[in-house]
Amino acid sequence: MFKLGKFELNEPILLAPMAGITDTVYREICKEMGADIVYTEFVSANGIIRENQKTLDMMKFSSKERPIGIQIFGDSVEVLGDSAALISERFAPDIIDINFGCPVPKVTRHGAGSGAMKDLDLMIKMTEAVIKNSNNIPVTIKMRAGWNADMLISTKAGQELEKTGVKMITLHPRTSKQRFTGKADWSLIRELKDMVSIPIIGNGDVETPEDYVKIKKETGCDGVMLGRSTLGNPWIFSQVKDFVKNGIYKQVTILDKVNLCNKHHSMLRKEKTEHTCLNLTKKHYSWYLKGFSNAAYWRTEFMKCINLSDFDKVLEQMNKEISG
């Protein structure tokens, strides 16, 4: 059990921030499935201080999503600090999280995301600036093991970040250069946990409830963050909780998937423009459809759709076939 801001948390399961995925609709679905903390997509600090409307829209959330974190990234100490001030004043999330973990080259080449892990002093200055301007909103970190295999700095970075006043660290124990290849080295989570007193959240290669139990046992982490394993399977939050409590969990049926497909699509229609709704629904359905009979056929039919009217027709056909 630990406290983060005004929330008491006991071995929380967190939804990772994922670009193009963790919008308000997906966050609400994951909260309903049992996620304890959710995060926005990562947001550009430069976009925030320029008050770019698309960027500002990404940070909007409803009260039922709390506790929620807004995750920011950037390569400038001043800009990150100013963005934290705007976030705290205008949005008042429960957490401001700094992204030191994104390995995508268009982010890292300028020293943002996991690119910052090449310069620990810069990481510290960025973090201090965010904390200074956060208006007492807890500041947390998501980071990688280091830039590459010769620069594994997560333990040292964690110790230094704790001194700044960071309240929690999530560690994905791959290097930036690995991206998502190879295996996450959970021993680095254990090493970090043993060297700091703030809560440590484990992340990486947790794909099943059994993996959740294993990472907890091997690392002693205070909670677990799930990302890619939730795609097409937000039930994993409730499955993990059932498995921890009862030693068993309910398998997801095709009908469960169909029902959630319909619900997700309906929620997107209320929140998004037709173009955005269509693109997001296609993306999520490609994940939900895994395990369906004739999955390849239905995926192809959905991808052919050029408007929501077309999509509704295919969806109706699929519902009839599955339920009939």
- Predicted confidence at residue 258, as pLDDT, reads 87
pLDDT of residue 193: 98
- Give catalytic status of residue 305 as yes or no: no
* Domain 2-245 fold: TIM Barrel (3.20.20)
CA–CA separation, 191 and 154 (whole Å)? 9
pLDDT of residue 324: 61
Domains 2-245 and 254-323 belong to one CATH topology:
no
Quote the pLDDT of residue 79. Answer: 98
Reading the chain (324 residues) residue by residue, the pLDDT tens digits are 899 999 999 999 999 999 999 999 999 999 999 999 999 999 999 999 999 999 999 999 999 999 999 999 999 999 999 999 999 999 999 999 999 999 999 999 989 999 999 999 999 999 999 999 999 999 999 999 999 999 999 999 999 999 999 999 999 999 999 999 999 999 999 999 999 999 999 999 999 999 999 999 999 999 999 999 999 999 999 999 999 999 999 999 988 998 998 999 999 999 999 999 999 999 999 999 887 778 899 999 999 999 999 999 998 998 888 776
Catalytic residue among 102, 221, 261, 277: 102
CA–CA gap between residue 324 and residue 315 (Å, rounded): 14
- Cα–Cα distances in Å, from 155 out to 143, 151, 233, 297? 11, 11, 32, 48
Q: List the domain boundaries for the chain.
A: 2-245, 254-323
For 190, the token pair is 């254990």
Give the fold, CATH level 3, of 254-323: Four Helix Bundle (Hemerythrin (Met), subunit A) (1.20.120)
Contact criterion met (CB below 8 Å) for 119 and 151: no
pTM over 0.85, yes/no: yes
Residue 48 and residue 32: Cα distance in Å, rounded? 29
